[in-house]
Every structure is written in C-alpha cells, then in structure tokens.
Structure 1
Amino acid sequence: MQVTIVERPEMKAAVIRIPRDGHKVREAWKEVTAKMEGHPAVADRHHGLVFIPEWQWETEVIMLWVGVEVTGFDSLPPGLEQITIPPRKFAKIAVKGDRDRMWETYSFLSEWFRTGPYERDMSEGSLGYEMNPLQPVNPFEIPADKIDFFEYDIYAPIKVAAGVDGSGVDRED
C-alpha cells in the first residue's frame, strides 16, 4: 500500500447527511442522483462521494455525507446540503479488494499518520472523503450486505507537522 500526498483545489458538493450505515449510504445516493439527474451544476458524473467528518475519528464516526461534486450552489434542488472543502493537502490511498482489505487499508493509513511526518487534520469542520468510481460498476447500487469488492480512493486531510516543508506534493485538479 502506498500513501501519496496530493494537493486538491476547492471542492463544492451537494450532499445528504446520514448516519454511518451502508444501507443508508445507498438510500442517500439514490436520492442525491434522482435530485441531481441532468442538473447542469454536476461537475463530476464519474464519481460518487462519501464525506467523513474527521473530528469524529477521535471517538467514533457516526455521521457521513453522501453526494456529488458541483460547480456551484445556485438552483440546487431542495433537500440537499452544501459542502465546501477549501484547497488543501490530503493523504491519498487506494482501497482495492475485499472487506478485509478495505479495513487493512484504513488501518495502514492510521498507522502511516501515527508514524509519519504528517498529522491528520481532525479539527472541527475538517472533512475527508472517499471518491468512488461509478464505472464499470456503481458500488452504490450493490446492497451493503452483498458488496464484496471495494475500489475507491480515500482522501484524508493533513496538517504539515513542524519541520516538514510539504515538498514532494503531487497536484490533482
């Protein structure tokens, strides 16, 4: 497994907030896509996003936001919340494999933060996210209790630790 430090531009998203539950993630996805179908503000029709409130890692992640990236918030359908993530650096790691491999990837990322020069930004208001490709298979269309293969990227926001200059950062636009 490999963690890459990437710099991402500002991201806006139209989302629905839900309890952390795979079934509710899929219900929210269906609602978001129904509301946003054909909407001109959708910036990325190839990925679905699940946002993680980073401050919840201190205890337990109990809430998520599910949605799509948008170019702006004008004329969004009712029932969608708005999220803006400022330009910033993230630790990016790919999840690819079965459920055990998914949990191994999260553990690897946690250990990487614990032992490396970067600190995960778990301050109030900081959001990480999972970027799920919707092709060739849309993972949100597979029931939570049936899905047995995961393939997505985790973007965990970072703070640069003292003495680290941030060099070696890849830029993703």
Structure 2
Amino acid sequence: MPSSFKDEFMNVEIVERPEIMAAVIRIPRNGQLVREAWAQAATWLQDNQAVADREHGYVFIPEWQWATEVTTLWVGVPVNHTEGLPAGLVTIKLPARRYAKLTVQGDRAHMEEAYSRLFDWFEQGPFVRDTQEGSYGFEANRLHPVNPFDIPADEINAFDYDIYAPIMD
C-alpha cells in the first residue's frame, strides 16, 4: 500500500505520520473540561520553545477505550523536547505509524456523520483500527480563523479538524 492512499467515496485517506511527542493534560471526556484543559495548556505553553505546532490544538483519544466507552482524553500540543515544560503537563509519545485520516468541516450533524462514516469504513475493510492498549488516535483542531476551544461545548456548531485513527500493522 502506498504511504498515502485516498478513498474518494468515504473521503478517508491513509497517511504515514512521524512519531509525535505531546505535552498534554489528562481529563475525563467532557466538552467543557476539554476547553478548560486547552486554555490551561495554551497559557502554560504560550512562549515555550518546545511547542512544535501552534496551528492546531490536539485531543488524543485512547483507542483501547472504544471497546466499552471513551472516558478519558489528553489535550495539548506536539512538542520537540520536554525541557522547560510546566510541571502540570505530562508527555505522551505516539510512534510513527499509519492512520486513517478524515477531515471534519461543518456543523454538528456533519461531525457526527463523519465519525459514523469512519467506523463504517473500518468495518468494510481492508484496514483494521488499532484499538490495542497504548494505541492513540487524535483530532488536530485548526485554531484559525476561529479557535474551537474558545466556544462553549454546548454552543459550538462549526467544526474544522482532522481525525487520525491508527491502523493496525
């Protein structure tokens, strides 16, 4: 399989991503807590030279929790190193690997349809989602022109982010 493959019908693209080290805050899955954690991480890392991506806010999903219910999320940003990171942040490391990538741009109904489409896409094969313990997927939320973390979870109805679901090798 080539390093980048796009399924036009489902708008799912297979992409290779390098290793990601991220500085994050672990929280219960809750839209308001996601926004609070993002605000805290953004404040702590505002001038920190370790930050590798200032264009996106990341929400990391523990894929093994899909077996029952996703109850925990990690919110933060990729970093180049851990020197000088605030004590309130932890680091996680995702290995270089393949992901199914799906872009979400639209209202809440479109977002819900995109997740449903991604689950259906995996069910149809030939790729298998990696839901093993220690496997993470993530959402890379574009912070411009509008930062979605500035909009209350119960009010937001315009989404612009990429879903990265890990693929079993």
TM range (shorter): over 0.9
1:13-162 paired onto structure 2 within 5 Å: 13-160=22-169
* Partner in structure 2 of residue 165 of structure 1: none
- With normalisation by structure 2, the TM-score equals 0.93
TM-score by length of 1: 0.91
Between the aligned residues of both structures, percent identity stands at 59
Question: Please, which runs of 5 or more residues in structure 1 have no aligned partner?
Answer: 161-173
CA RMSD of aligned residues (A): 0.7
5+ residue gaps, structure 2? 1-9
Matched pairs, number = 160
Match for 1:44: what amino acid? Answer: D
Distance in 1, matches of 2:152 and 2:86, equals 26
Compute the displacement of 1:26 (Å). Answer: 0.2
Q: Find the aligned partners of 1:116 and 1:72 in 2 and give their Cα distance.
A: 37
Q: Is the 8 A contact 2:104 2:110 kept in 1?
A: yes
**Hey, which bits of structure 1, 4+ residues long, moved more than 2 A?**
none
Contact 2:48 2:84 survives alignment (8 Å):
no
Verify: 1:6 aligned to 2:15, yes or no.
yes
Q: Distance in 2 between matches of 1:57 and 1:86?
A: 20
Q: Which amino acid aligns with 1:6?
A: V
C-alpha distance in 1 between matches for 2:37 and 2:127: 33
AA partner of residue 55 (structure 2): H
